[in-house]
Structure 1
Amino acid sequence: MAKVSFPQSEEIFRTAAGVVYQCNRNNCLWLEFAGGVSSFKIHELLQLKKKVEQIDVAEMASNTARTADVVILNIHRSERIFVLTLTDVLNLRELLQGTKVMLNLNSIIHDCLHAMAV
C-alpha cells in the first residue's frame, strides 16, 4: 500500500498495525488500518472502539466453526466495512484504546493550560 499523506493533520497514536491522525481543519480523525483509510468524527471512532471491545475474542479463538474466525463491522454513517480476523480485532483494539488515551491526555493538558491562563 502506498504511503498516505495527511496534510494539516497531527498523528495521535501509532502501532505496528495502524495509525490515527487528527485533522482540525476538517474536524475529523483519520484511521489508517488493514490497508485502508477512513475518516471518522470523534463520536464515530468511539462508537467503533465500543463495537470492537464488545467482540468476544475468547469465543473467536476457541470456536472451531469456519465462520467464527471473522467478524464484520460497519459503523453508522461510515462507508467502510471492517472484516476482521482475531489478530485484526486485537490490533484494532490496541490502536483505538491508545488513541482514546491520547485524546483524553490532550484534553487534560488543554484544560490545565487553560486554567493556568485564567
Structure 2
Amino acid sequence: MISEATYINELYTNSKGTTYQCDRSARIMVEFAGYKMAFRINDFLNFKQKVDNVDLHAMIFNLSDEYDFEVIEAPQANLSLKLTLCDLVHLRELLEGTKFMLELNSLLYERIYNVPAYV
C-alpha cells in the first residue's frame, strides 16, 4: 500500500511556513503561522491576489490602531487570518515562491513531455 505522503510534494518554504502540492486531491496546501489551508489552484491564485492587494505602505505609515493588522478571508479554507505587517510580508513571499514553483513545474512538464500543462 502506498502512503498518502507520496502524493504530497513540498513546493516552497520560508521561515514562517511551507506549501505543498497534493497530487491526489489537486490542491495546494499552505501551512503558515499556525494556520493550515488547502486551495484548488484558482482559489490559491485568488487568495494570493487578496494578500498582494493589501496596502503595506498604509500599514507602515498610518499610526492608527486599525492599521496594526489586516484581516484576510480565506473562505475556501473557512478561515479569517489576522496578520501583522511582518506576517503579511512573510506570507507574500511564501505565496510568490509557491506560484513561481508551480509555474516552473508546469514549464518543465511541458518541455519534458511535450504536453501543455495548465497553471
Judge same fold: TM > 0.5, yes or no: yes
Q: Secondary structure at the match of 2:77?
A: coil
> Would the aligned equivalents of 1:57 and 1:86 in 2 still touch at CA under 8 Å?
yes
TM-score by length of 1: 0.89
Paired letter, 1:45? F
> Would the aligned equivalents of 1:31 and 1:38 in 2 still touch at CA under 8 Å?
yes
Paired letter, 1:44? D
> Would the aligned equivalents of 1:10 and 1:21 in 2 still touch at CA under 8 Å?
yes
Structure 1: where are the runs of 5+ without partners? 1-5
CA shift for structure 1 position 42: 0.9
Identity across the alignment (%): 33
- Which residue of the partner structure matches residue 20 of structure 1? 19
Structure 2: where are the runs of 5+ without partners? none
TM-score by length of 2: 0.88
CA shift for structure 1 position 45: 1.0
Paired letter, 1:67? E
Single out whichever of 76-85 and 106-115 deviates more from structure 2: 76-85
Q: Write the distance in 1 (CA, Å) between the matches of 2:78 and 2:42.
A: 15
Aligned residue pairs total 111
**Deviation string for 1:96-118 (max 9, x for gaps)?**
000000000000000001129xx
- Which residue of the partner structure matches residue 84 of structure 1? 83
Moved segments of 4+, more than 6 Å = none
